Structure 1
Amino acid sequence: MRADLQISWEIPSTRPGLAGRLERFMGPGKCRSESVVETLGLLGCAALLATGLWTSQTAHELSTVQLVVVALAGLDLIGGVLTNSTNAAKRWYHRPDPGARRARLLFVSAHLIHLAAMGLIVLSGDLAWTLANAALLLAGAVVVEFAPVHLRRPVAMALLMATVLVNLFWLPVPTALAWFAPLFFLKLLVCHLVPEAPLERRRDA
């Protein structure tokens, strides 16, 4: 490890009320550089997604409601991949707390709403797509969460590749929506569930 970096699991205090809840949801103690990367990454990737959708025939065939669902899903997944990758989020969601595992699995389970919205609204009631991806999500989350800690990263990567391949070959969607499954499973199986040591600059460096 570089001499100017250190691992820190110390969770800073948060503000009371709604502001504190938001800090804990995003990860308390996020440094300015992490916020900058998040913001620039979100803006850049959202612009790419919007441009891709705008130039695709599929987007022009969607209703206003379907486009709103797609836009919200895209922003949530792009932002979620970035946020859940930060040191602040890793420190918070993988803290040594008996309730942390339950919180992680509940977070993942809440994203069944995303699948329902995409499958039943955007894909016009594709129940097979919805249920198959729900099964992949829940099974994958359990496997990653209960894998030995030192193996969770490669296990999550293997499951990410498997879910993407299953979606590409057996659960296909229009090309303009093919980004959904890779970003969805990347956010949850890898970025959220894989523990990583939170690094920060040494205060005396």
Structure 2
Amino acid sequence: MKKQHAFALSALAALLVAGCASGPSTADLDKMAADVVKASFRDQGIVKVSAIAPEDINEACTAADVAGKPIDPDLANKLQDAQLKSIKWPADGKYLGDWKAGEKLAQSGRGLTWTDSANTANGGNCYNCHQMDPKEISFGTIGPSLTGYGHTRGVIADPTSPASKAIIEYTWGKIWNAKAYNACSVMPRAVHKGIITEAQAKDLMALLLDPKSPVNN
């Protein structure tokens, strides 16, 4: 592994030096970067190299970011449609679990490290990006505030209306696979990528939409 890593780094360095005269192509740099990643990472514990395997949607968003412009709208829609198909809707038709369990999940950022066992419960780490409970003093601002989520979207006032049904389904889909609604979203594809389970997703749904949840009080 060390020899492969050293070889990849040496080759990349040589290519970059040669580039001073001729300039390496983007394809050359991409190949060398892929070789470095392949030589540097390995399966260990519950962490698998497949987690960083290239995907069309990530590569397209990275290319747009490097170019300094938004992703092509038609391409974004195509990629989002593919992600939307990955969402599994509750077989029992029930979207809400236990908001108390959802709060614990939202507060926890642990899990998915190579020292964890396969049965280690992962956290949702929601507060790392969102304000949720208005009384919480520690939260991130990468994502929008979710305080009063159920109230501001009318779900608590009339949970059976068509508008509320649409919000509930959107919220479920967003938790399951955020890229189904925004191709270049930085929000983790929580259930799609195995970060949390379907049952845990229901608990987060309750945290956002249950009238007794601190999010809505």
Q: TM-score, normalised by structure 2?
A: 0.28
The higher-RCO structure (CA 8 Å, 6+ apart) is 1
Question: Which of the pair is proportionally richer in helix?
Answer: 1
- Higher Cα Rg, which structure: 2
